[in-house]
Structure 1
Amino acid sequence: MYTGRLIFSQVMAHLPLHTFRRCVARYRGEHYVKHFRCLDQYYVMAFAQLTYRESLRDIEACLRAHQSKLYHMGLRAPSVARNTLAKANERRDWRIYADFAQALIRVARPLYADEDLGLELDNTVYALDASTIDLCLSIFPWALFRTTKSAVKLHTLLDLRGNIPTFIHITDGKVHDVNALDMLLPEPGAFYIMDRGYVDFRRLFTLNAAGAFFVIRAKSNTKYRRRYSHPVDTAGGVRCDQTVVLTGVRSAVDYPQPLRRIKYHDTQTGKTFDFLTNNFSVKAQTVADLYRYRWQVELFFKWIKQHLRIKSFFGTTENAVKSQIWIAISVYVLVAIIKKRHDIKADLYTILQVLSLTLFEKTSIEQVLNLRDRTSEDHGNPKQLDLFDNLTGH
């Protein structure tokens, strides 16, 4: 039942605070801290994400304007100074928020486990990709990317059921995408969908040995020899389905077992793709459809860059940048959890837009986020006077 709390506090009520306290204790986040707790820092940073604040000064001014409501937001600090927040971002261990985001991911994934991908496939499907966030070299010299610029890179493994990130690794921009494969713990029976940047047959053979499947776009210079050709239905865009063995000097050694090659022509774009996979049982069209679903991870990067604050950073140190990125990820996952728990039909973008304008309102979160047409409900209210009926009565 609605208790008259602020929308912000209703959103934060979905956080597992006992887990957050364990994360803080694990890294001694509140050692010698008297007033501005790690939870206060998280609440302020989450508020900045949800309301699209641009700077520390912007955060301070906005919270000062609503100072009487800080207690009802859950903040113990009577006020929030930008210097206090800046020092917290600089000094509090970013791993607190990384571990907490991972805990939220473990809560969110079961909620979306039954999502329908539109494929005849019960396996878990992951999309692996990386995205670069450009930074100013003079302000972020620790994230050297090129001689004239800095950057950080987000290596992300996205569970396509619910578009929940299950693995995120933050590096400087120089780290190649394919190195993320060394950090994954392959899940037997799962599909990993990747672009050409991840073609490394030694690493792919490690996935195969772990019982996982992969679908990857082949490079144009990949050398192989056809062993068998399988019949295909060309009406759907599949041009050939072959069993091949690699013949390159290194690739033949790195991946000594046969692979499946599928050539697919996309009639909408006019492009032709060569896919390699170690799965020989699913339909060729399903393999092509799986790669098409890989674009969900591209949309995830685009969405999170546009709608969460990870391009305007509230600190310049590596610790501050990583803390802000992980808090942004946790806010994204938190909104996904709320969407499922409250059975909200609107997409995440719409939910964030509504929350950004209503965090200080005292109304039910279900009423705010379930965007129903209330006009018809008002007409059905028997206590509502009908002006035109009264006029005709006279």
Structure 2
Amino acid sequence: MSKIIPFKAVRPTPDKIGLVTCRNYDDYSSAELAAWLSFNPYSFLHVIHPAYMHSQKITLDKRFKGVAHKYQDFKEDGVFMEEEKPVFFLYEIKTKTQSFTGIVAGTSIDDYKNNIIKKHEDTLQYRVEYFKDYLHQTGFNTEPVLITYPDNEVLNNWIFEKKKSVPIYNYSTTNKEKHQLWKIETDEEINWLSKQFENIPELYIADGHHRSASAEMLYDEDKHLGNENLNYFMSFLIAESQVKIYEFNRIIRDLNGYSKEDFLEKLSEHFIIKDKEQELWKPQSKFEFGMYLDGSFYALFYKQQSTIENILENLDAQILYDKVLQPLLGIEDLRNDERIEYIPGKQSIATIKELVDEGEFEVGFMLYPSDISEIKALADNGLIMPPKSTYIEPKFRSGLMVYEL
């Protein structure tokens, strides 16, 4: 049984919504960040990245306090408003090619602890502690955890009908996305929606493992304070069919001492190799890998497809690590080895070609994206994907919704 709750969200006033919300600040180049901060005084980037020009010269403690102060300034200036009562929201994101609709709600720390909310990625302790300290110092979170639930015809029909009503937000962004938000505020709707999720036995984290782990750590440290908001964390819940999963491709700086010929010979022990020359080739199905090396693309077909149902060993990202990255290229630590970098699969593979051709990297590997069934199977069995196995959409806009602690 899954538990979701409405919450008293803080959100931008309707006249400023298009100016306030932003992408995650890590998505901005230095030039973009400077431009937004210079020319848009309402951008939430001013809150999450205070003292921008001097951010490297202040302590984390001072930076987090600066975030809290700037957030209060936005509230006092009337940029934000607070709901009068706890509510749910229905949120839709439309891109050029995709449409995502989900429910914004509070999800239970107890469900997370009891594995009703299931995980498939490992976390880094320092990142969990960093974000826990951020939450503690700032007193708010604006980045919900992306959680999936099994497709449900009753919920789908309700969402379809709800979207016929007038949204409280309807705006577009400079990256050509359209956003709409509906408020779910009547007692009848809130109770009905809560009961629908009580009938769902398990939920799965798609994106936001560090955020959920940080919320749990903060709860464990501060639960004695009696703050009910710590018992939950903000989540964006969408049906499994709504999730778009991309791969993360890999680029490597060197061949670990191998010549091209010797490296191809070693690869042939586990893969059938076809030279695609200048064709921008990418994998078409599971157990296929693309490679760009020395001006040519190659198709790699894995020979030893396991007939045994070993979920992790059959994962393409794990196969690449077990057969190529670790034994041949000497990459042990996928998170911290400076010889490897990652390119989201939604970027063109021409990007990999350009980076290798420029000479900083020697070889690139393209993977076939995992699907939701693989992610769920790993989570159900308590298994963890290799780092940077998936790039998942949708991405929530910062500043759209604030969950205060």
Which of the two has greater helix per residue? 1
Structure with the larger RCO, 1 or 2 (CA within 8 Å, 6+ apart) = 2
> The TM-score by the shorter chain falls in which range?
under 0.3
The structure number with the bigger radius of gyration is 1
Which of the two has greater strand per residue? 2
Q: Normalising by structure 1, report the TM-score.
A: 0.23
